[in-house]
Structure 1
Amino acid sequence: MSWTQPSRPSRRSLLAGAAGAAGAAGAALLTGCSDGRTSGAGTTVPLERRMRETAVRDSARLLERYDATAAAHPALAARLAPLRAAVAAHTAALSLTPSAPPSPSPSRSGGTGAAAPAASGGPVPPKPEEALTELADAERSLSESRTIDLAGAPGELARLLASVAACGAVHAYLLTSNPGAAS
């Protein structure tokens, strides 16, 4: 009695082959979209760079808001100083060149990326409590915006945005809690 190999492949080999083919097809699709070089006359800016530039611009606007609030209400300056220092550190960490000090960029309309509306300028409210509430709203809005941006961010930038968003949520809490909690 001689043994002959079955004419049908095993279920295991079919699944392994399908998984390999799907992986190869997925890799081909991903690499087929772009070879890392720009084509044509236009240059494309990588996603991570665009996201970092937007995050730095938003942080710079928030720094401007802290400065305007401290200037309008000097009695709040000591309370705001550690929170402002943290925002400045976030700006440097998000920057493509962390050694360069972040410089606030002028507000532009029609930019790429969604800037947090509450973080942009406007007059500081005359009452200190209202000014703190407005600053907390700016922190909260930027924190929420960064949380939304996590979905499209590359790995390391996503982790950084998550940390900065969490810190912004804490800042919002500290700005609206009693003055002793922020020191």
Structure 2
Amino acid sequence: MPLTTPSRRSPSRRSLLAGAAGATGAVLLTGCSGSGAAPGADSGIALDRRMREGAVRDSRQLLERYDATLAAHPGLAERLGPLREAVAAHTRALAPADPAAGKPSPRPGPPSPSSPSSSGAAAPAAGAPAARKEPVPAQPAEALSALADAERDLSEARTITLAGAPGELARMLASVAACGAVHAYLLTSTPGAAS
């Protein structure tokens, strides 16, 4: 008698997302315990700042990919515009606070295609992404797929990073990672198609 297996062997996308959300929630709950300043609070502040600076750098690199894709494929502006604006908002939200003023550090403004070098002075690591830039694929569908891959990769990296992040930053990274996963889905789905 042959061994029968269930008709559905692989988990559904919903069950994978639910599992990831549950794991993220568990990590976030562990970051919420405790009250007051810990003995190593200064090192926690330094860790928070370094992690935020890295997250901002990653978001700026993703913004550059959106801008390059929009420059190569202006017909995708309606589809990419809202996603690009969300990434810009994430960049602003993740910016470390300026301790002297008690407010976030300068935030990136709207893209200025005519002066890409001027934005390089404001971004501490702006020279690094230029060396790693990948060309935008010539076909719009391939360009969307490449952008979705970049969103997915960054979302996965942020999900891993949030485990070692201080409480508030961990919550922000989880939120931004989830948004990146949604962006990857939206970039690869067919607009207007029934699901």
Which interval holds the TM-score relative to the shorter structure? Answer: 0.5 to 0.7
In the superposition, the TM-score normalised over structure 2's length comes to: 0.63
User: 1:150 maps to what in 2?
Assistant: 162
> What is the CA–CA distance in structure 2 between the aligned matches of 1:59 and 1:179, rounded to whole Å?
25
User: 2:53 maps to what in 1?
Assistant: 53
AA aligned opposite 1:58: D
User: How far did residue 49 of structure 1 move?
Assistant: 0.4
Superposition pairs for residues 133-144 of structure 1, below 5 Å? Answer: 133-144=145-156
In the superposition, the TM-score normalised over structure 1's length comes to: 0.67
User: How far did residue 78 of structure 1 move?
Assistant: 1.1
User: How far did residue 108 of structure 1 move?
Assistant: 2.5
CA distance 1:35–1:136, change in 2 (3 Å):
closer
User: 2:126 maps to what in 1?
Assistant: 106
Using the TM superposition, name which of 90-99 and 56-65 deviates more: 90-99
Give a deviation string over 1:126-153, Cα, whole Å, max 9, x none.
0000000000000000000000001100
CA distance 1:35–1:144, change in 2 (3 Å):
closer
> What is the CA–CA distance in structure 2 between the aligned matches of 1:35 and 1:163, rounded to whole Å?
24
Q: Does 1:169 align with 2:175?
A: no
> What is the CA–CA distance in structure 2 between the aligned matches of 1:168 and 1:70, rounded to whole Å?
18
> What is the CA–CA distance in structure 2 between the aligned matches of 1:145 and 1:95, rounded to whole Å?
18
Superposition pairs for residues 1-183 of structure 1, below 5 Å? Answer: 31=39, 36=42, 46-97=46-97, 98=104, 100-102=106-108, 104=123, 105-108=125-128, 121-180=133-192
Using the TM superposition, name which of 47-56 and 93-102 deviates more: 93-102
Using the TM superposition, name which of 134-143 and 96-105 deviates more: 96-105
> What is the CA–CA distance in structure 1 between the aligned matches of 2:179 and 2:140, rounded to whole Å?
22
CA distance 1:89–1:140, change in 2 (3 Å):
same
User: How far did residue 99 of structure 1 move?
Assistant: 6.3
User: How far did residue 36 of structure 1 move?
Assistant: 3.8
> What is the CA–CA distance in structure 2 between the aligned matches of 1:160 and 1:35, rounded to whole Å?
19
Query: Relative contact order (alpha carbons < 8 A, sep ≥ 6): 1 or 2 greater?
Result: 2
AA aligned opposite 2:106: A
> What is the CA–CA distance in structure 1 between the aligned matches of 2:42 and 2:45, rounded to whole Å?
11
User: How far did residue 107 of structure 1 move?
Assistant: 3.9
> What is the CA–CA distance in structure 1 between the aligned matches of 2:41 and 2:182, rounded to whole Å?
41
> What is the CA–CA distance in structure 1 between the aligned matches of 2:149 and 2:42, rounded to whole Å?
40
> What is the CA–CA distance in structure 2 between the aligned matches of 1:67 and 1:139, rounded to whole Å?
14
Percent of aligned positions that are identical: 67
AA aligned opposite 2:126: P
